[in-house]
Amino acid sequence: MQTRQIGPFTVSAIGLGCMNLSHAYGTPPSAEQGERVLLAALDAGVTLFDTAALYGFGANETLVGRVLGPHRSRFTLASKGGMAGVQFDDGIKRVIDGRPETVRRNCEDSLRRLKTDVIDLYYLHRWDKKVPIEDSVGAMSDLVRAGKVRALGLSEVSAATLRRAHAVHPIAAVQTEYSLWTRNPEIAVLEACRELGAAFVAFSPLARAFLTGALTDVVALDAKDIRRPMPRFAPGHYAANLKLLPAYQALAQEAGCTPAQLALAWLLHKAPHIVPIPGTTSLAHLRENLGAADVKLSPEVLAQLEALINQRTVTGARYAAQATVEVDTEEFAQ
């Protein structure tokens, strides 16, 4: 497996996003299947595993800790706090809370669930805009000094917020959605990461399955699937977006790879500080995704890809109104 750098860590060029083993895309797989995927990824050379307190309201960290805990020295462990499930009278709800005391408590809870003494890369999952980013990152830097965290990251932040945070403590990575159909990082934060020496960790690099070509019927999505409220997955927008796929699939065939591999290879070719973290519940898809590291794309194919699928050709916003308010990433002018 090829490698890339995140702060002090040398990691596999393609990591594993663990979220959908417990969360987000309808009914999650069994714990046994989750274990098979995690161990297969480790055996295949994946050395970056990404989880969060939010995923499954702690269930994902518990799974990762149970399965990978015995192999802790073999991989870089990333998790996130500042957004977690909180118990209310009417059930557990997602809460964004970046207060220093909450960040510290989230980390302690994650360490316990992950069965480890230290988290290698600890992200602020969302910037709580009621709390200065300097205060949240200051609390995270205390965790580094206490030996509970080795390096810090931020998720879904702008270049300006990244620079403010980096002035408090070095930021090793920014994690944001990035794929051919979500190009927002190209506005500013991708370059800011390069300037500051931070890695850019790309989540949803397969456009939440759109770029695999396998998702053709959004009407059939599970009622709890997080894609349901996303505008570009609404039936009308999605039908328009599907028209982009035949030409995209032809480019994959020309490149001698699958559509999923083409999407990941495009990211790997964009810049050496980009590390994609596709998620999957399938052993076959895991192997397919990791094969993208060996795909070579010509400048001509890269140019054709970028002209075909971009912010002008994709219809529908990335997030619904509420989720858009919760992130700090730059947006293209409408």
Answer whether 256's CB lies under 8 Å from 276's CB. Answer: no
Q: Is 243 exposed, middle or buried (0-12, 13-18, 19+ CB in 10 A)?
A: exposed
One-letter amino acid for residue 201 of the chain: V
The reply to whether 319 belongs to the active site is no
Answer whether 212's CB lies under 8 Å from 238's CB. Answer: no
Answer whether 301's CB lies under 8 Å from 255's CB. Answer: yes
Set 25, 55, 178, 248: catalytic member: 55
- State the greatest distance between any 2 C-alpha atoms of the chain, in Å, as a whole number: 57
Tokens 């349901």 belong to which residue? 228
Write a three-state SS string for the chain: CCEEEECCEEEECCCEECHHHCCCCCCCCCHHHHHHHHHHHHHCCCCEEECCCCHHHHHHHHHHHHHHHHHHHHCEEEEEECEEEEEECCEEEEEECCCHHHHHHHHHHHHHHHCCCCEEEEEECCCCCCCCHHHHHHHHHHHHHCCCEEEEEEECCCHHHHHHHHHHCCEEEEEEECECCECHHHCCHHHHHHHHCCEEEEECCCHHHHHHCCCCCHHHCCCCCCCCCCHHHCHHHHHHHHCCHHHHHHHHHHHCCCHHHHHHHHHHHHCCCEEECCCCCCHHHHHHHHHHHHCCCCHHHHHHHHHHCCCCCCCCCCCCHHHHHHCCCCCCCC
The residues annotated with a catalytic role in the active site are 55
